[in-house]
Chain A
Amino acid sequence: MSEFPSKANVVVIGAGIVGSCLVGHLSRLGWEDIVLIDKGPLPNPGGSTGHASNFIFPVDHNKEMALLGVQSANQYRDLDRSVDSGGIEVARTQERMNELDRRMTSAKAWGVEAEMLTPAEVKELVPFINEEVIMGGFHCPTVSVVDSLDTGTLFRNEAMDKGVLQVFANTEVDDVETVDAPNGQQKVSAVVTNRGRIEANHVVVACGVWSNRVANMAGATIPLVPAVHQMADVGPMDILAETNNEIGYPIVRDMDTFCYERQSSGSMEVGSYGHRAILHHPDDIPSNEEAALTPTEMPFTQEDFDPQMETAIELMDFLGDAEIKYAINGLLSLTPDAMPCLGETVEVNNLWSAAAVWVKEGPGMAQVVAEWMTYGYPRVIDPHVSDIARFYPDERNEEHIWARADEHFIKTYGIVHPAEQWVSRRNLKVSPYYSRQEALDAMFFQARVWERAQWYNSNADLVERYGLSEREVEWDNRWWSPITIGEHLNMRENAGLFDLTPFQVFEISGPGACDFAEYLAVNKVCKGVGTSAYTPWLNHDGGFHSDLTMMQTGEDTVRIVTGAFDGGRDEYWIKKHLPADESVTFTNMTESVTTLGLWGPNAPAILGSLTDADVSYEGSPYGSVINIEVAGIPVTLFRVSYVGDTGWEIYTSWDNGPALWDALMEAGSDHGLRPTGMGVYAVSGRIEKGYRLMGAELESEYNPVEAGLARPKVKAADFIGKEAYLAAREAGDPEVHMVTLIVDDNTDSQGRKRYMQGGNEPILTADGERITDSHGRVSRVTTAGYSPSLEKMLIMGYVPAEMAAPGTQMKVMYMNELFPCTVVGTGSAFDPENTRLKG
């Protein structure tokens, strides 16, 4: 073995599937001088990769997980370390059958071959199954079994053969050092190991269950916790041995018992996600020497597995008579929201996380991180749900990580509604109106750490007033209330008061603030004090990074307002790009500023009754930012609308918030003002207007031209992504357009009205064909919502230019059924002339 180096360009910590694939991808992207270290031996260093069940089900409702799963499966195939075994998810309940219909829908969206099977058809493929306990199956022939350890070796070898990688096994990390960087930041500088200290420009933490501990050495956090997944290998069984290969029968996922049965040569691996959540502190994981097997193959706790055995035998009787030859409490990584941790850590520059990634997404996610390091942002997919910057500080502590992992472990094979709310760790951040909202019996949804009133049960009378009713199918009705429709209609008729405190409010100030603001934003920001810009922020490739509002509040001060789901990512992005000359100061003002929204035809009358200032449309035109007093309270008034009715975002200090709320509610009592929830703000009000949302319509895979957000002119100032943006504009008509579609008839085959959830349901041709563009981007529902004004379901999505014309007939799939829909166009389905905004 070569001498341990004292310097490297990149040090990757962890030689499991992720670290090994990462060094391979870095080498493909031209990186040199890479050092990979692991505390264990090779090829199996003893982390989660070594005991993984190694199968890939390529269907997931989440786009990032689904597409990177397919990507990863293909990378394994390219290396010939993969066998298509096929796989079947079986249902024991009607609820699960409905979920399998939903799986069929996602399979259609991602272009994965799939079919529903009757119990008898399942039996044909899996002759040892007891078809009497199942109602049906979801069969996916491209489910594959991979050799993750060998794949890791091949990726490492590829980089070593190029002469750009050195690998050191049995090398323990003792410390990760940092140095001061501009703007009070820290930058990674060296990794200290038991073999010596190695200076590095970049350090990647890819050490699975140990990742947070290693990141902590540098003062960074990678919020994950080691958790047990139990697995037992039982056998031998003749019928399995007779296939004479690693796997000859499809993998069976017994979804309702949270178990899988996967052939492994002559035996069957029975894996469980049905036991209690068993979480470990990384310090409690034994060393390689102290572990009887490997560190992450912990002693089996039999009593946790016993209930799983009973249900497994029910499904496959022969399991009962086979010997349990090997059984482990295998460790894997869980994060607070069940998604991976990818990207640069927010605390330390050039310290990267490639963690909480399972074998099924390993090669694809390694590619994501390699591209991120190379191009400043991934190209293969928009990573916002995996971006480690998404976590707020309150989501990074052990209490939160453990509580959330404890809550979601059982949902690994669960049926999770798109709007499903967390039970644990609520009320982490509440607005100054929380007690008032509680008194109004608000239904709170949590936006990361922020509680937001989704609707107010005190508005239940509106249901009767507008003749509304519950939805027919429980799934569509879940996490929903007709009250939200009542609140919408009341806003359109009178006015609604919205609590927008969870807005993340930042301020950049200093002599370089305006230049910096221009550098971040596509649209011109500093047009004078009191002006604003609604603008995308792009990455270097010209795709969306953010979509937000910016206000010039002073000569050298710009306020940035973004959504509760994006605050972490946007704060990271700003800090990452702060000028090195320290001419700009960043301040997070979220918890000192509170925001109320007042919208509806009666909004001007309500506000006007509380102020002497001119709040007419002329006095406060669209986009203007003025400082006035309302009911004697100093506020910043920003005329804007995300709901399609006239009104303002009203900013005031946290302390003044409750008095402002009370004054507005009192003044509004004669004008039909109602507290109105996020169901209107984020869904029905927005979709009637076709307003785009970051993370839904707007992702890095799309640009402003395609999204319909390109302005007639481009500002002179340079900004991130400008070159790509100009190129996209010059290319002429984009290949796809973001459009709104109206669902012509949402009646299903059983005569029930159905309501799409906005969960990536595929948008199809009139003939029901899947649509992709030349980049492989699929037409799918980015947002779905009921339009109370039009009394129809609306959906949004990108469709090819030739289908974007108003009136184009298309289909949308929901729960494995097709529904006819018609393109409205790139603009608003409701009030397309925006007459209501000018009141």
Chain B
Amino acid sequence: MRILALVKRVPAPGARINITADEQYVDDKNLGHAISPHEECGVEAAVQLIEQHGGEATVMSMGADVSEEQLRAAVSVGMAKMVLVPTDGTPKDPQETAAALTAAIQQLEAEEGAFDLIIFGNESADQGGFQVGIRIAHALGRPMVNGIKGLDVDGASDGHILANREIDSGVEVYELPMPACVGVKEGINLPRYPTMKGRLASKKAELATVEAAGEAGGQAQVKLLSPPEVVNETVILGNGPDAAPAIVDLLEELGVM
């Protein structure tokens, strides 16, 4: 199989997110950076499929030069090749991103052959536009399903892949003819951590660059705002055994008892 996984460099989640004074960026001075979590699962899915069926997985990112860190992180867990679509680092709207990435993928496929499967994250952790994958799939004329939490080649018809999507009442199973595109969600797998040897190997991997650009669409970023801070009030019910009656009251109030 030939698989392409797309990743985006985002500020590492877990801390309070501050916005820069110009309200245009996440203030990342205290934050490390990571692959957007859904996409990290996409990388893991690609690595697992290659481990099972052979072939080659490529990881691609669009962004400033510093995105190399995330590309190498993907290589360190098993991606074979990495491609950067360089930008000046300013935020791009989903149409512009999709157009540039489509052009880059087409260029790559013209040189090396089509990808059987292109894996996107369901949405990015920072901008969350939910549309870049679908736009690219549409532009490439390939089938696309979003929200995927399972992929299976063995159970599918020849040249197809099964993709599972959880819905409230059960699981939808799609069979897509390859080449195909999927948008995966966290939960599809548990991404592995890099090993030291993987990390050292990734340092030696060659970074390919594909220059590509697209036209901006209509969804321009005006500004970023922090959500109002949620204050959780904590009531101390007591210390030691003295707290028991209050706990009983609370459990009764919650209907647990």
Report which A residues bind B (CB closer than 8 A): 1, 234, 284, 286, 289-293, 298-300, 302, 306, 309-310, 312-313, 319-325
Contacts and interface: CB of A to CB of B under 8 A. Distances in A.
Contacts of A325: 193
A313 B32 contact: no
Interface string B98-129: 00000000000000000000000000000000
Q: Is the interface of A mostly helix, strand, loop or mixed?
A: mixed
Contact of A320 (B15, B33, B197, B203): B197
Contacts of B69: 302
A299 B197 contact: no
A289 B16 contact: yes
B227 interface: no
Nearest to B12: A292
B15 A286 contact: yes
A234 B196 contact: yes
Contact of B200 (A286, A292, A300, A306): A306
B240 interface: no
Contact of A292 (B15, B18, B192): B15
A45 B31 CA distance: 19
A299 B11 CA distance: 11
B14 A293 contact: yes
Given A302-B69, A323-B192, A324-B194, A291 B199 contact: no
Given A306-B199, A306-B200, 19 more contacts: A1-B236, A234-B196, A286-B15, A289-B16, A290-B15, A290-B18, A290-B30, A292-B32, A300-B32, A302-B199, A309-B199, A312-B196, A313-B200, A319-B196, A320-B195, A321-B195, A323-B192, A323-B193, A323-B195
A320 B196 contact: yes
A317 to B, nearest CB: 9
A749 B236 CA distance: 70
The winner among A284, A290, A293 for most chain B CB atoms within 10 A is A290
Interface in B1-45: 12-16, 18, 29-33
The winner among B29, B196, B197 for most chain A CB atoms within 10 A is B196
A323 B32 contact: no
A321 B203 CA distance: 16
A284 B29 CA distance: 8
A585 B175 CA distance: 92
Contact of B195 (A292, A299, A324): A324
A321 B197 CA distance: 6
B14 to A, nearest CB: 4
A292 B14 contact: yes
A308 to B, nearest CB: 9
B200 A310 contact: yes
Contacts of B192: 323
Interface string B174-201: 0000000000000000001111110110
A423 to B, nearest CB: 31
Nearest to B17: A290
A361 B197 CA distance: 35
29 contacts: A234-B195, A234-B196, A284-B30, A286-B15, A286-B30, A289-B15, A290-B16, A290-B30, A292-B12, A292-B13, A292-B14, A298-B30, A299-B12, A299-B30, A299-B31, A299-B32, A299-B33, A302-B69, A306-B203, A313-B197, A319-B196, A320-B195, A320-B196, A321-B196, A322-B195, A323-B195, A324-B195, A324-B196, A324-B199
A302 B200 CA distance: 10
Contacts of A300: 32
B76 to A, nearest CB: 9
Looking at chain B, what size class is its interface with the partner chain? Answer: 20 to 34
A324 B31 contact: no
Interface of B: 12-16, 18, 29-33, 69, 192-197, 199-200, 203, 236
Contacts of A299: 12, 30-33
A291 B69 CA distance: 21
B196 A291 contact: no
B138 to A, nearest CB: 36
Contact of B196 (A286, A298, A313): A313
Nearest to B28: A299
Contacts of B33: 299
Contacts of B32: 292, 299-300
Contacts of B200: 306, 309-310, 313, 320
The winner among A292, A298, A312 for most chain B CB atoms within 10 A is A292
Nearest to B229: A289
A291 B15 contact: yes
Contacts of B30: 284, 286, 290-291, 298-299
Contacts of B203: 306
A292 B30 CA distance: 9
Contacts of A298: 30
Contact of A324 (B14, B15, B193, B236): B193
B214 to A, nearest CB: 31
Contacts of A234: 195-196
A530 B69 CA distance: 73
A150 B192 CA distance: 32
A290 B32 CA distance: 12
Contacts of B16: 289-290
Contact of A323 (B18, B194, B236): B194
A281 to B, nearest CB: 12
A61 to B, nearest CB: 32
A322 B196 contact: yes
A309 B197 CA distance: 8
B211 to A, nearest CB: 26
Contacts of A322: 195-196
Nearest to A319: B196
The winner among B13, B29, B199 for most chain A CB atoms within 10 A is B199
A493 to B, nearest CB: 64
Contacts of A323: 192-195
Nearest to A320: B197
Nearest to A313: B196
A313 B18 CA distance: 39
Contacts of A306: 199-200, 203
A382 to B, nearest CB: 41
B184 to A, nearest CB: 21
The winner among B15, B16, B18 for most chain A CB atoms within 10 A is B15
A501 to B, nearest CB: 46
Nearest to B72: A302
The 7 closest A-B pairs by CB, nearest first: A299-B32, A323-B193, A292-B14, A286-B30, A320-B197, A292-B15, A289-B16
Nearest to A270: B196
Contacts of A286: 15, 30
Contacts of A1: 236
Contacts of B194: 323-324
A790 B226 CA distance: 79
Contacts of A309: 196, 199-200
A1 B199 CA distance: 48
A302 B68 CA distance: 12
Nearest to A300: B32
A418 B6 CA distance: 56
A187 B215 CA distance: 66
Contacts of B12: 292, 299
A324 B193 CA distance: 6
B164 to A, nearest CB: 27
The winner among A298, A299, A310 for most chain B CB atoms within 10 A is A299
Contacts of B197: 313, 320-321
A322 B236 CA distance: 42
A289 B16 CA distance: 6
Nearest to B13: A292
A319 B200 CA distance: 12
Nearest to B194: A324
A306 B199 CA distance: 8
B75 to A, nearest CB: 13
Contacts of A292: 12-15, 31-32
B43 to A, nearest CB: 14
A312 B18 CA distance: 37
A646 B5 CA distance: 85
Nearest to B69: A302
